[in-house]
Amino acid sequence: MTAPQRSAGAAIEIRKASKHYGAFTALKDIDLHIRPGEFMTLLGPSGSGKTTTLNLIAGFTDISSGALEIGGKSVTGLPSHKRNIGVVFQHYALFPHMTVGKNVAYPLSLRGIKGDDREKRVRRALDMVKMADFAHRYPNELSGGQQQRVALARALVFDPPLLLMDEPLGALDKKLREWLQLEIKRIHRELGTTFVYVTHDQEEALVLSDRIAVFNGGRIEQIGTGRELYDNPATLFVGRFIGESTVLRGVAEASGDNTIVTISGQKILAHGRLAGDARPVILLRPERVALKRPGVDAITGENRLTGTVAEAIYLGSGSKYEVRLADGTTAVARSPLGAVDFAIGDTVDIAFLPSDLILLPDDASADVTLT
Amino acid sequence: MPSFSRILLGLFCLLVAILLLAPTLVVIPMSFNGNKSLAFPPVGFSWQWYENFFSNPDWTTSFTNSLIVALIVAVVATVIGTLAAFGVTRAAARTGGLLRALLITPMVVPGVVLAIGIYAVYLDAHLVGTVTGFVLAHTMLAIPFVLIAVQASLEVFDRRLETAASSLGAGRLTVFRTVTLPLILPGVLSGALFAFITSFDEIIVALFITSPYLKTLPVQIYSSITRDADPTVAAVGTLLFIATSLIIIAGLLLGMRRGRT
């Protein structure tokens, strides 16, 4: 089935934007550039400013200071109903007194589109989300996933150059969520519309996005592709929020171009050193950590820390271990199929190369409970 | 097999229902009285009091007056009360609570006190015995009922639907017309019905501001029954009873149909 017309997506330019609610600052000087047709996800814990940013773009609230341009035009002071932006809400927000067909026709009627033309576009939009058979039903006769598909059709039927989605799959169960993620990705590919997607689920962000902006405490910590954020996090917060990780803290000293971190008497070598006098911490990705019997299988230059297996989980495609280190830290390691099996209580070494660890400045705010 | 206590409870409910309904039901046989008396039980049978109601200009004009006043009141009070309900619901919690308490006073203040105040003002303003006077006074009395009914609807109304409509391109008035109003309509309609009935059977204020040239039905009933024992009163009562029953049954049926979809 063909979707609504392919439209050129709009670019979004946010410069030095802040938002205050009384004494509370929801956004502090954020800069965000979204390219035409891009799938940009705003990722962060609740209260980090991602939804506020979405509301600013949608025109539901005004920015306190800074500039906001959509498609090259400043939209400051322009009310939401004149912005021509599709919005999908977590709570669906379908009109309960209208049928599915009437809901989807609503934005078209407001634009003076009537008769056959309107019917055709409603049909096309419902086809796109595979809900054409439900046009005569009322929203309360549909499941959550069906309602959200209708909401998506309603937000896209008028061919907006920009679609905003605020945790659209937050209220759905896992299976349905995964299927709808793929549907959303497909629709984005077909339409060429700029999508801005808000979520607190980092996996969802990785599945969907061209680029991800990670929010924390009203600021953007880093903007990049999923791979960039995972492999090269700019801050400890980003490193911990995206993917699984182990954070190692110890006494750090510079040694030439390298940094040596001493943890419970064992020395860890890290390439590079941090600018300034920030305290360095080490971030490890589970698949970069190997488990070895103490003192066995050493590779030149490898770092090792001794600990005890606290948890061993069989995942089918491999195993996941939690290792309690001497200083009380829990390290996470993933080993592929065929690797040596370890049991809870075994004494093991976690082993990793200096090139596999990520050296980052310590940041207490990264330790808040992450969801 | 229902237990003994259940049967007892059922019988008790029936007794209460009979006690509540009896005064109303007494009126019906009285309206067919063969004699010109309000004695119960009635003697003989006749339709003459119904004939009298429809042919005697005293009764027909007072009935028309009440109908006109109540219809205007229903419209005016519903518009003002609905707007007030929006203000009260969407103002800051404290301001809203205060406003609501203020707007509800006509319901709480004793009717006689209100009637004296209104009468005093109307004498100077030459509003005694005018349709405008009746409409103004009854609108005041009816607004609290509309306010309460509409506010109840607004409290369960999901304001996020307004945000959604706005994002789809609807300006404020369009949002109200196409989304908000249709969804709070049951509250608005029941408010209008309350307003109509409040005005239609209002007697205290009406007795003060009535004149020989403008009488409402309750005033006519009252003066007729104090002057002579005219069973036409019973005939009017019976007609009103049937009319209100029909309205309520229709309302219930409509509600049931809504509930199913």
Q: Which of B166, B170, B183 sits opposite A97 (nearest CB)?
A: B183
Write out pLDDT tens, residues A212-239: 999 999 999 999 999 999 999 999 999 9
CB-count burial class (<10 Å; 0-12, 13-18, 19+) for B48: middle
CA count, 13 A, side-chain hemisphere, A74 = 9
- The pLDDT of residue B254 is 76
pLDDT value, residue A367: 63
- For the segment A274-304, what is each residue's pLDDT rounded down to a tens digit? 877 788 899 999 999 988 888 787 888 889 9
DSSP string, A17-62: EEEEETTEEEEEEEEEEE-TT-EEEEE-STTSSHHHHHHHHHTSS-
Buried b (16+ CB within 10 A) or exposed e, A114-150: eeeebeebbbbbbebbebbebbeebbeebeebbbbbb
A110 vs B: CB within 8 A:
yes
Provide the shortest C-alpha distance from residue B173 to chain A (in Å): 12
The minimal CB distance from A95 to the residues B169, B171, B179 is found for: B179
Dihedral angle sign, alpha carbons of residues A351, A356, A359, A360: negative
Nearest CB neighbour to A97, from listed B168, B169, B182: B182
Residues of chain B found within 8 Å of residue A155, distances taken between Cβ atoms: 167-168
Angle at the Cα of A226 from the Cα atoms of A220 and A228, rounded to 5 degrees: 80
Residues of chain A with pLDDT under 50: 1-3, 369-371
Which residues in B146-175 are b (16+ Cβ under 10 Å) and which e?
bbbbbbbbbeebeeebbbbbbbbbbeeebb
Per the document, the length of chain A is 371
Quote ipTM for the complex: 0.83
Residues A41/A213, Cβ–Cβ less than 8 Å: yes
Contact B170, B179 (CB under 8 A): yes
CB-closest option in B161, B170, B182 to A110:
B170
Please compute, for residue B132, the number of CA atoms within 13 A of its CA located in the half-sphere on the CB side.
5
- What is the C-alpha radius of gyration for chain A, rounded to an integer number of angstroms? 25
Instruction: Specify the residue for token string 């237990």.
Output: B3
Test A107 with B169 for CB contact under 8 angstroms: yes
- CB distance B166–A111 less than 8 Å? no
B167 Cβ under 8 Å from any chain A Cβ: yes
What distance in Å separates the CA atoms of residue B121 and residue A188, rounded to the nearest whole number? 69
Contact present, A348 and A309 (Cβ < 8 Å): yes
Helices and strands, counts by H and E, chain A? 8, 21
CA distance A171 to A145: 9
CA distance A129 to A153: 6
Instruction: Give the residue from chain A lying closest to B160, CA to CA.
Output: A93
Q: What is the pLDDT of residue A162?
A: 95
Flag whether residue A91 sits within 8 Å of chain B, measured between CB atoms. yes
Between the alpha carbon of residue A100 and those of residues A95, A123, A149, A181, A282, the distances in Å are: 9, 11, 10, 22, 53
- If you measure CA to CA, which chain A residue comes closest to B261? A138
How far apart are the C-alpha atoms of A24 and B8, rounded to whole Å?
A: 62
Given a contact cutoff of 8 angstroms between Cβ atoms, the answer to whether A217 and A365 are in contact is yes
B176 contacts chain A (CB < 8 A): no
- DSSP line for A60-126: SS--SEEEEEETTEE-TT--GGGS--EEE-TT----TTS-HHHHHHHHHHHTT--HHHHHHHHHHHH
| CB within 8 Å: A87 and B170 | no
B114 token code pair: 């209100």
Q: Distance (Å, rounded) from C-alpha A335 to C-alpha A337?
A: 7
Q: Are B218 and B202 in contact (CB under 8 A)?
A: yes
Q: Any CB–CB contact under 8 A between A78 and chain B? A: no
CA atoms within 13 A on the CB side of A272: 14
> Which pair of tokens denotes residue A185?
């990705």
Q: Does B168 touch chain A (CB under 8 A)?
A: yes
* Contacts A106 to B, Cβ<8 Å: 165, 168, 170, 178
* A156, closest residue in chain B (CA to CA): B168
In B, minimum Cα distance to A61 occurs at B163
Pairwise CA distance, residues B233 & B217, whole Å: 10
Q: What is the pLDDT of residue B259?
A: 53
Is A248 in contact with A330 (CB distance < 8 Å)?
A: no
The secondary structure element, H or E, covering residue B193 is helix B181-200
Residue B5 DSSP SS3: helix
pLDDT confidence of residue A5:
54
User: Chain A contacts of B165, Cβ < 8 Å?
Assistant: 95, 106
**Structural domains in chain B plus CATH codes:** 68-216 (1.10.3720.10)
Residue B242 distance to chain A (closest CA, Å): 33
Q: Which domains does chain A have, with CATH numbers?
A: 12-240 (3.40.50.300), 244-361 (2.40.50.140)
Tens-level pLDDT at each residue, chain B (261 residues): 668 899 999 999 999 999 998 888 888 888 888 888 777 788 888 888 999 999 999 999 999 999 999 999 999 999 999 999 999 998 888 898 999 999 999 989 999 999 999 999 999 999 999 999 999 999 999 999 999 999 999 999 999 999 999 999 999 999 999 999 999 999 999 999 999 999 998 999 999 999 988 999 999 999 988 888 788 889 999 998 898 888 888 878 877 766 544
pLDDT score recorded for residue A265: 84
CB contact (8 A) between residue B161 and residue A58: no
Closest residue by Cα to residue B182 from A81, A106, A148? A106
Global pTM reads 0.83
